[in-house]
Structure 1
Amino acid sequence: MTATQAAASIGPMVKEFITGTLRARAEGKQKIAYTFIVCHHEEIFRAMDVIP
């Protein structure tokens, strides 16, 4: 993957994260944690059923 391709993938990834968080909050089904866009603890949060 080139740097240009990597940079182009950031926008859709962020949109997916935000959409998932808003959906989880609206459904009231999951715990939500507000983190930085690139959080190195994302796997840990998801393993604990927390939406970062």
Structure 2
Amino acid sequence: MGDGPRDWETHRPAVFGAAYRILGSVADAEDVTQDVWLRADGADLRGSS
């Protein structure tokens, strides 16, 4: 994510919405959303090898 937390706040609602539609539970969607953030925060998403 180019600008970390600021980029995340842009994408978080879409991640949560998709998770909620798939899982049907707010608590589970929140857990998945947090997992996505933790994985993305630790990943090299710049596209370089």
Q: Identify the TM-score tier after normalising by the shorter chain.
A: 0.3 to 0.5
What TM-score do you get using the length of structure 1 for normalisation?
Answer: 0.41
Q: Which has the higher strand share?
A: 1
- Which structure carries more helix by proportion? 2
Please say which structure displays the higher CA radius of gyration. Answer: 1
Q: TM-score, normalised by structure 2?
A: 0.43
